[in-house]
Amino acid sequence: MGRQLFTVGPVHVEADSLMAQTKPMITHRCKEYKALHGAIVEKIRKALCTDDDVFLVGGSATVLIEGSIRNGVANRSLGMTNGSFGNRFIECGTANGKDVVEVKVPWGKAIKPADIEGKVGKDIEAVHWVSNESSTGVLSDSVALAECVRAQNPDALIMVDAVTSAFAADLNLPKLQPDALLFGTQKALALPPGLAIGIVSDRILEKSKDMKNKGFYTDFVKLKKNADDNYALTTPPVSLLYALDYQLDRILAEGMQARYRRHDEMAKMVQDWADRKMNGLFPEEGYRSKTIGVINRGDLDFDAFHAALKQKGFEISNGYGEVKSSTFRIGHMGDITPAKPKGLLAAMDEVLEEMQ
Ligand SMILES: Cc1ncc(COP(=O)(O)O)c(C=O)c1O
């Protein structure tokens, strides 16, 4: 019954991580909970090299992506996009009545400092983008973008969707200095979905104090007040927190640099296969994702290919957004080691041969 997932998320979860969720339930206002919450926050800070506040909020990553807009933008932001999820960040702004100045970069291209040169004026309260665009498989250089924003308007908040890069690619937080870095559990953390994680700066917390209409669920001031006591604001997914605590121990034992190298290695394997067996990778060279290979499918009958692959016990992902019918995607993130994509690539070779 089991299928090996090489999907873009949720991704494969190891059995011991799943089991870690089965500890007896506790309430979220007891001292055992405080210890659990506090331990997770410290481990995330250590892994990502930051002293900033860490918010743990029940929901998917979008709840905190939207929350960062609601807490950090009164009127106007600048949203850079090179794919579906950059567009979604922008929509989180417009859906909340903000004026979002859009900077659109062609799909498949990285967002570069030149794209926003001269565009971050004093009226721009925040600049937001996706570090690893999951629809196109592009990893932009977020540090370079943040430096370009700060050089133009040091007051502009930096908001980064790190949903498919955090814990897989080195985001260099000491240099990036994000005001909001948002992600969830179901991608490179290799856990079930259900928890949004936000790394937030003092600057956005300060801005949130006077913000109107920021709602209750992701009010950063309320979240911070509770986080200072190692509590969540509302009932958190306690079972998932058990698994996150367990998983963070695994991750720290592996070492973050080793984890980044492992993702690099798997990305190169998939990229090499795409060059040899398909029409190459969709994203531009030099900015290719460490977690998702977005492959030009040419005249491949993807549905037939994927059906045959599933018969062999493997699942990958369809293309997404504007490139849905011209690409397909292979997720290679989380706890899988290079032996796993090697098995997938061999199975894909077999299917291609069978289809001839
Ligand atoms: C880059 C990116 N941003 C945002 C999201 C939305 O995340 P969630 O579904 O956890 O809210 C996704 C989901 O795939 C994503 O890949």
Q: Residue 72 corresponds to which tokens in the numbers above?
A: 């950090």
Task: Please provide the average confidence, as pLDDT, over all residues in the chain.
Answer: 97
pLDDT score recorded for residue 235: 98
Ligand 1 atom showing the smallest separation from residue 62 Cα: 11
pLDDT band of residue 125 (cuts 50, 70, 90) is: very high
Is the Cβ atom of 199 under 6 angstroms away from ligand 1? no
Q: What's the gap in Å between 161 CA and the centre of ligand 1?
A: 8
What percent of the chain is modeled with pLDDT above 70?
A: 100
Side chain identity at 49, as an amino acid letter? C
- Compute the distance between CA of residue 339 and CA of residue 350 in angstroms, rounded to an integer: 17
Query: From ligand 1's centre to the CA of 163, what distance in Å?
Result: 6
Pocket flag, ligand 1, residue 81 (CB < 6 Å):
no
- CA separation for the pair 225, 232 (Å, rounded): 9
CB 167 within 8 A of CB 144: no
CA of 164 to the centre of ligand 1 (A): 7
Q: What percent of the chain has pLDDT over 90?
A: 99
- Identify the pLDDT of residue 335: 96
Q: Is the pLDDT of residue 3 over 90?
A: no
Please report the pLDDT score of residue 192 as a whole number: 98
Place of tokens 């604001």: 233
Residue type, position 105, single letter: V
Distance of alpha carbon 25 from alpha carbon 247, whole angstroms: 18
- d(C-alpha 190, C-alpha 334), whole Å: 5
pLDDT at 1 over 60: no
CB 44 within 8 A of CB 167: no
**Residue 224 Cα to ligand 1 middle (Å):** 23
Q: Half-sphere exposure (CA, 13 Å, Cβ side) for 253?
A: 7
* DSSP type of residue 153: -
pLDDT band at 129 (very low <50, low <70, confident <90, very high): very high
The ranges assigned to domains in the chain are 4-10+256-355, 15-253
Q: Is 169 in the pocket of ligand 1 (CB under 6 A)?
A: no
Residue 235 contacts by C-beta under 8 Å, 6 or more apart in sequence?
Answer: 28, 58
Could you tell me the two tokens for 327? 């690409």
> Which is the CATH superfamily of the domain at 4-10+256-355?
Aspartate Aminotransferase, domain 1 (3.90.1150.10)
Pocket probe mutation, ligand 1, options 163, 164, 317, max atoms within 8 Å of Cβ = 163
Give the CATH class of 15-253: alpha beta
Rounded to an integer, the average pLDDT of 108-114 is: 98
Q: What is the CA radius of gyration of the chain?
A: 20
